Structure 1
Amino acid sequence: MIKLFAVDLDDTLLRDGNIISKEDKQAIRDLEESGVKVVIASGRSEPTLKDVILELGLEKNKHVGVNGALVLDLNGKNEFSKYIDRDTYVNLIERLRSENREFFCYCDGGLMYEHVDKLRPQVEYFHSAKALIKGDVMSIPQCPRVNTYYGDEEELSYVRSICPEGLYSTANSGILDYMPIGLNKFSGLELVLKEYGIDKKDVACIGDQESDLDMFNNCGYSFAVSNCDDFAREAADIVLPRSHNENGVAYAIYKYLLKDEDKLSKI
């Protein structure tokens, strides 16, 4: 029996233009009313993650941000599940600075940067400008994730090659992430499940890309929207016939979780 549904945001619940359809919103409300908790599991930072949670009316639940590093609790205290070792962090920042690379660092409350130009459009699309905090990134006491820019495949190969020992990298839309090994969306989700006393076999999840694989591999049931990448397509239990722009989340809810053919026919 599914007791919790973990939902990715970008290119899954969020349509192009960062819009959530009325059909997906209604399906989430219907699922919550049936007794299934809906938890957002996203790479986004606190400011925009909070906006989505409030828009969906899910503020009573705990949620997962920063690809599993942040457990967001709008009714209590946030928690980092894992962060970069201090020496590793200092060495990485010094290298990025020495190469005059654009980068930003996740911190409690948003994204701290020293200078961004090429990165700004991606940051504002995925996080919004209000998430950006200008300052000395060395002042961050605990950083779970550092992002840098890449312009083409050759540059992507290079920034992957300088990933420090103890960290791993993922890339999407011109942004490469450095994160601690063992940090993923499921490591954050696992803390939420422990809080709620829910077994992972009773969890369904939905996503679209490589960063969702640990959820797919650990949850009892996994869906990928039709616009997913090859990694998600291979790992998901079900690849849906609908994309993020075609109410893929609502389709999964009505077809497989609520099994409501009448509502399914109307989306």
Structure 2
Amino acid sequence: MKKQLNSAAIKALALDLDGTALGLNAEFTGRTIGALRACISRGIQVILCTGRAVEGAEKHRAAIGAEGPMVYFNGAEVVDMPEARVLSAGLMDLAVVDFCIDISRSMGVHYQVFFPAAAGSREILMIEKYSAEAEMYQKHTSIVPVIGDLKEAIAKPGLSGCIKGMFIAESAVQDLIRPKLTARFGNSMYMAQTFPTFLEIMRAGVSKGEGLRFAMKQRGLKAEEVIALGNEENDLPMFNAVGFSVAPANSRESVCAAADLVIGSNEEEGVAAFLEEFLLN
């Protein structure tokens, strides 16, 4: 049953970036920045809930001036910003990473891995070769990858796990990869399509929903005080963590069906229009 929005009760927005708040060029429009800043000025907190790394989301966070615990890597990390202090982290078992490397090599599919940060540094994105997919991801996120042998990297002493891995491939190829991982690991890892060509693999129990619940607890927020806005299957756990959920019209069909309200697409600045109508009028 679809819920009705009680605008007066809202104290925070849990905001997905790609495909939701960002336009087709993966940037905020001026109107969206203005609406989000206006919400913050009225005391409504903005919690980024994104599959992106801290580095890949930072210019967007800074553009709107949002602060406090944010959800990155689809919930694998919750980080207090702008200090970049990691509050929680869930690392994926290296056996899963190793198997994904085998799949990548045997199928000729691009695979990349985020390694946890060393003291005083940011997380490291590693690939085995620079490809069209790697170039697209770098343009999309502005993150420059390190090129090297992934098998050697995960075998280094002291490494207890990785933040997440990602295949970049068309949906038909992802459909071939998913059953291989399920047959090998069952429910001991988490898979989610986060972008039309992104299939992300993380530790079991990691999700935007769990990351958001942790961030909300840190901020002293109740579920009924938060609106979640998202467009992909990785946003569905986030919808279950809050009192009201919103999906832009460009969302996956299952996401639109799960949302309490469907708004204009990201191309139509749907998030800005929603905020202007329901929270800023």
What TM-score do the two structures reach when normalised by structure 1?
A: 0.87
Q: Are 1:149 and 2:151 counterparts? A: no
What SS is found at the alignment partner of 1:11?
Answer: helix
What SS is found at the alignment partner of 2:221?
Answer: coil
Match of 2:245 among 212, 222, 225: 222
CA contact (8 A) 1:103 1:147 kept: yes
Residue matched to 2:179: 161
* Alpha-carbon distance in structure 1 between the residues aligned to 2:178 and 2:232: 18
Residues 117-156 of structure 1: CA distance to partner in whole angstroms, max 9, x if unpaired?
Answer: 142243124322x342223431454313211233461x22
What SS is found at the alignment partner of 1:47?
Answer: helix
* Alpha-carbon distance in structure 2 between the residues aligned to 1:237 and 1:99: 40
Q: Are 1:257 and 2:279 counterparts? A: yes
What SS is found at the alignment partner of 2:51?
Answer: coil
Aligned residues: 255
Match of 1:53 among 49, 61, 69: 61
Match of 2:126 among 98, 105, 112: 112
Ranges in structure 2 where 5+ consecutive residues have no aligned partner: 1-8, 117-122
After superposition, the CA RMSD in angstroms is 2.1
* Alpha-carbon distance in structure 2 between the residues aligned to 1:90 and 1:226: 37
* Alpha-carbon distance in structure 2 between the residues aligned to 1:228 and 1:99: 29
What TM-score do the two structures reach when normalised by structure 2?
A: 0.83
Structure 1 residue 45 displacement after superposition: 1.3
Ranges in structure 1 where 5+ consecutive residues have no aligned partner: 261-267
CA contact (8 A) 1:119 1:175 kept: no
* Alpha-carbon distance in structure 1 between the residues aligned to 2:228 and 2:171: 31
Q: Are 1:26 and 2:34 counterparts? A: yes
Residues 188-212 of structure 1: CA distance to partner in whole angstroms, max 9, x if unpaired?
Answer: 1112111111112211111112111
* Alpha-carbon distance in structure 1 between the residues aligned to 2:64 and 2:146: 26
Q: Structure 1 114/27 Cα, relative in aligned 2: closer, same or farther at 3 Å?
A: same
What SS is found at the alignment partner of 1:212?
Answer: helix
Give aligned-pair identity as a percent: 25
Q: Structure 1 23/179 Cα, relative in aligned 2: closer, same or farther at 3 Å?
A: same
Paired amino acid for 1:68: G
Moved more, 75-84 or 60-69: 75-84
